[in-house]
Amino acid sequence: MEIIYLLIPISLILLGLIVWILLWAVGDGQYDDLEGPAHRILMDEDRIVDDKSEQAKK
Amino acid sequence: MVSNLSKSESMPGCDDSGTGVAGACFHCGLALSPDLDFRLAIDGAERAMCCHGCLAVAQAIIAAGHENFYRVRTETAPTGRELIPDFIRESEIYDTAEIQRQYVHRLDAEICEASLILEGITCAACIWLIEQYLAGLRGVEQVRVNYATQRALVRWDDSRIRLSEILHSIRKIGYRAVPYDPNRQQELHRRQRGQQLRRLAVAGLFGMQVMMLSISLYAGAWSGMEQSFTFFFRWLSLGLTLPVMFYAAIPFFHSAWRDLAQRRVGMDVPVSIAILVAFASSCMATLTGDGEIYFDSIVMFVFFLSASRYFENMARQRCAGSVEKLVQSLPLTATRLQANGDREATVAAATLAIGDRVLIRPGETVPADGTLVSGFSALDESLLNGESNPLDKQPGDRLLGGSINVTNPLQMEVGAVGADTVMAEIQRSIERAQADKPPLALLADRVAARFISIVLLVVAGVAIFWWIEDAERWFDIALAVLIVSCPCALSLAMPTAISAMLGKMQACGLLVKRAAALEKLNHVTHVVFDKTGTLTLGKPVLSQVVSAAPYDSAECLGIAAAIEQHSAHPLARALVHAAGDIADRELSGVFSVAGGGLHARIDDVDYFIGNCEFITANSCAEIPGQWLESIDSDALSAVILACADEVMALFTFVDELREDAITTIESLCARGISVTLMSGDRAAATRQVALQTGIGNCRAGLTPQQKMEAVQDLQTAGAVVLMVGDGINDAPVLAGADVSIAAAGASSLARVNADIVLIADRLDGIDQVFHMADRTRRVIRQNMAWALFYNFGAIPVAAIGLVAPWLAAIGMSLSSLLVVINALRLTR
């Protein structure tokens, strides 16, 4: 069971990493809008005929 | 295209999008008018639209290739009915240098950035539509719409597109956008939210580790565990609890310290004592290797408490944000005239001084209080006093900032600015009313404070008793009593139930700003409704056309609409809207008489359209007695069309009731609540609505002050009053009532002051609020009962020394868990 002295520090390092990622995500504003992206991902965007793509075709 | 086609019922394929309902406008979902027929092919089927506005909006959406919007949306779009007439000039104001300086942030020479407040977002498909549409515009570099706050951040190239054009484009697809100044307050809110979330994350993540370790420790205590592992796990738990203690739990200590410094005992004082004592004794136990540790209880406690506070705070901030969303009640700019009245200059409204002369064009909002110097016009003061019809004003009359000039240009001498205006006075009276409101939270705090004082006394007593009796066990037993009586479950009982309820309410389209209001809702005995905009839609709708003998109603409507196109009066707009497509007619000699009507010449025939006085004064036509009677008795707004020598048609208008007004009032009555209607509008119109909805008590012609007094009278008579309103004039009453609900589309002031805001444009939310309040109260009672039973039941057992501290900790955690699970039932 001495392996636990190795496994637990590893899990702690992972924990530190997760905390760091989470804090970064909060700071980056990833949690500012929790509802929009869930819907946004469902929308197809390939039917758009906008000025820019038309310009690109020309 | 005025036609007598039957209602475009049963549109094929109308129901497949989930929100398209037969008989309702495909775009906005409002009922179709039977005499109108607007159709547009969308997604391979003919769709019926209710009006020009919606048709234009839908055409703009289809033309840009965003048909997808109709497929993925979950709610109908905002109606286009009112968007068309006056948005063009309004948005050009935003191109003036003064306004640009305030709202537009220049990143470099050409690239600009501005934050926009969006109105009319009903579901997530709307943000997609806005983003795609704007991104497709030439010159727009980046668009980011935030669904939660309903804000957009737009970056554009100023040399290729102007801000006004962007705003214009948003209007074109049916939404309203206003630039706003993301001030310090909001930035502060955002940072605070981030901070809270970080603390919550730390408490949660480290808490999980601690819980994991303690489960092994509990299992080890049961089945045996090597001393070295126990020792290691304990130190590890201590280490992992440190970030929770010294980062996540800081706000509790902070607030407890603030309370103590002010010689009060708040809810955070017992919480902090429990956390600190448990932590100190656990540290002692870890250092000495003897005794129980309670790190698991600490982290769980901190995590649950932080979570409930985070959710409550978020709901509040979100509502504060939606408040600023509505267009400002005072305009940004004013047109100032030189003393002799011939030179005009556009200036920021805030720079106006007393004695300045300003020009107010029809459709503009009066920028400050003042006296009318020249011009005759009707002014819409509904925002200030609830009067739904525009009032006639002549030179010498007082004009109030925030009212809207409806018919003719006016010149006004500014009499009061800033804090001296009536608008500011209303705001102040609201602030006073808010300060008067007895916060329920104080009571809860007092109860908890008393509870914790008793607990501390009991702990001291038990410690002294056992010190004398059995000096070896006194610390163990005293600690067990303290742990067992830790009011964890007690302090979780309310916040968990409330945050679960807040989430559920939000999903139902109800924004609860002050959770304490829910508690009071259970005792409500009286509901007071405002009329205009709350029970009714707040817009006149043409209800009846009566034509005189030789004339045809449809023909009369066509003529009337053609003339009324030249007026901005609400009744004129209702006529134009009802007529739908207006045939091109040669109009000449159009003139309007303020507060009277319009004259125009079509094909060499003179037409007059307006109220009775205007018709008798200008044409030789005689108004049939029957008409006069029906105008008087129905108390409806009416307009008469006449040619030079005879009357042609009578148009009557009603302010339509909201669809669910009657059922909502029925259900309130079924709950045994008495319903009152209080309106600033005329007595007859008010009585009419009261009759239609079955409200027994109605009071008309009330000023905001009188409304407030009426509500206070009810309150002194022992009633608990729920106020439902929408206008600025309702704001003081909303703040003064025991509980207040702002109807959908309420003015910003009303939203600030209401406890609950209906987001969905329906009244049946009120019934839902009552239902949820009832369920929440039951859950809180169950939780409280359990927590008290557990605490008071366990204390004597612990005090006689039958509970080991570790057992006390498990008991406490389980009792907290039970409370949380019970609260979560509310979300179903």
pLDDT tens-place string over residues B608-636 = 888 777 787 777 777 777 777 766 655 45
For residue A26, the chain B residues in CB contact (below 8 A) are 194, 197-198, 201
Check whether B436 has a pLDDT greater than 80: no
B530, B681, B726, B761: the active-site residue: B530
Q: Per-residue confidence at B80, pLDDT binned at 50, 70, 90?
A: low
- The rounded distance, in Å, linking the Cα atoms of B767 and B674 is 14
| pLDDT, tens digit, 9 for 90 and up, residues B366-415 | 888 888 888 887 787 665 554 556 777 888 888 888 777 777 778 888 88
Look at residue B596 and tell me whether its pLDDT is greater than 80. Answer: no
Residue B632 Cα, gap to closest chain A Cα (Å): 52
Cα distance between residue B401 and residue B426, in whole Å: 12
Least confident of B56-60, B591-595, B669-673, B772-776: B591-595
CA B51 to chain centre: 27
Residue B693 has pLDDT above 80, yes or no: yes
Q: Do B149 and A48 touch (CB under 8 A)?
A: no
**For chain B, what are the domain ranges?**
87-182, 187-325, 333-432, 437-508+776-828, 509-536+657-774, 539-655
Q: What residues of B are in contact with residue A38 (Cβ under 8 Å)?
A: 124
Indicate if the pLDDT at residue B662 is higher than 90: no
Whether residues B64 and A49 touch (CB distance < 8 A) is answered with yes
Residue B263 main-chain phi, psi, to 5 deg: 55, 40
The C-alpha atoms of residue B122 and residue B74 are separated, in whole angstroms, by 8
Helix (H, G, I), strand (E, B) or coil at B731: helix
DSSP H or E run through B406: none
Looking at the DSSP bridge assignments, the partners of residue B344 are: B337
Of all residues in chain B, the percent with pLDDT exceeding 70 is: 71
**CATH class in words for B509-536+657-774:** alpha beta
Give the separation between CA B655 and CA B548, rounded to whole angstroms. Answer: 24
A34 touching chain B per CB within 8 A: yes
Instruction: Please check whether residue A33 is in contact with residue B148, taking contact to mean a CB–CB distance below 8 angstroms.
Output: yes
- Identify the CA nearest to B433 among candidates B738, B700, B713, B710: B738
What pTM, to 2 d.p., does this model score?
A: 0.55
Amino acid in the structure at residue B312: E
Q: How far apart are CA B735 and CA B434, in angstroms?
A: 6
Residue of B nearest to A18 (CA): B205
**Is B530 assigned a catalytic role?**
yes
pLDDT score recorded for residue B584: 64
**How many other CB atoms are found less than 10 A from the CB of residue B268?**
23
Give the contacts of B533 (CB within 8 A, at least 6 positions apart).
B726, B727, B743, B745, B746
Chain A environment of B148 (Cβ under 8 Å): 32-36
Q: Is A46 on the interface with B (CB under 8 A)?
A: no
| Residue B243 banded pLDDT, cuts 50, 70, 90 | very high
pLDDT tens track for B486-510: 666 666 677 667 767 776 776 677 7
Quick check: A19 and B147 CB within 8 A? no
In angstroms, how far apart are the furthest CA atoms of chain B?
114
Is there a contact between B137 and A15 if contact means CB atoms under 8 Å apart? no
Cα B782 to Cα B821: distance, rounded to the nearest angstrom: 12
Q: Map residue B597 onto helix, strand or coil.
A: strand
- Given this model, what pLDDT does residue B178 score? 72
Q: Contact B757/B748 with Cβ under 8 angstroms?
A: no
> Mean pLDDT over all residues of chain B?
74
Looking at CA atoms only, how far is residue A7 from chain B in angstroms?
Answer: 13
Range B87-182 has CATH code 3.30.70.100:
yes
The residue ranking higher by pLDDT, B19 or B132, is B132
Closest CA–CA distance from residue B294 to any residue of chain A (Å) = 20
The residues near B24 (Cβ < 8 Å, ≥ 6 apart) are: B30, B31, B32, B50, B76
Length of chain A: 58
CB-based contact, A21 to chain B, within 8 Å: no
Cβ–Cβ gap B197/A36 under 8 Å: no
Quick check: B236 and A50 CB within 8 A? no
Q: Which of B641, B591, B648, B592 is nearest to B612 (CA)?
A: B641
Contact across the interface for A50 and B135, Cβ inside 8 Å: yes
Of chain B, the percentage scoring pLDDT greater than 90 comes to 3
Q: Which residues of B touch A (CB under 8 A)?
A: 64-68, 72, 123-125, 127-128, 132, 135-138, 145-149, 190, 193-194, 197-198, 201-202, 205-206, 209, 226, 229, 232, 236
CATH fourth-level superfamily of B539-655 = Calcium-transporting ATPase, cytoplasmic domain N (3.40.1110.10)
User: What is the pLDDT, as a whole number, of residue B428?
Assistant: 56
Tell me if A36 and B123 make a contact (CB, 8 A cut-off).
no
Q: Which is more confidently placed, B194 or B172? A: B194
Contact at CB, B147 and A33, closer than 8 angstroms: yes
Closest CA to B538 of B638, B653, B404: B653
pLDDT for B203 equals 92
d(CA B170, CA B821): 45
Cβ of A2 under 8 Å from any chain B Cβ? Answer: no
CB contact under 8 A, B138 and A51: yes
**Which of B268-282, B333-347, B657-671 comes out lowest in average pLDDT?**
B333-347
pLDDT at A18 over 90: yes
Q: What is the pLDDT of residue A48?
A: 46
pLDDT score of B229 more than 60: yes
Q: How many CB pairs under 8 A join A and B?
A: 88
**B333-432: which CATH topology?**
2.70.150
Both tokens assigned to B740:
């207040």
Chain A residues near residue B136 by CB distance under 8 angstroms = 48, 50-52
Q: Does A42 touch chain B (CB under 8 A)?
A: yes
- Per CB-CB distance under 8 Å, the chain A contacts of B198 are 22-23, 26
Query: What is the reported pLDDT for B466?
Result: 87
pLDDT of residue A45: 57
DSSP B76: P
Closest chain A residue by Cα to residue B191: A27
Using a CB–CB cutoff of 8 Å, tell me whether A54 touches chain B.
Answer: no
CB contact under 8 A, A42 and B72: yes
Nearest CB neighbour to B148, from listed A19, A32, A48: A32
Containing H/E element for B117?
Answer: strand B111-119
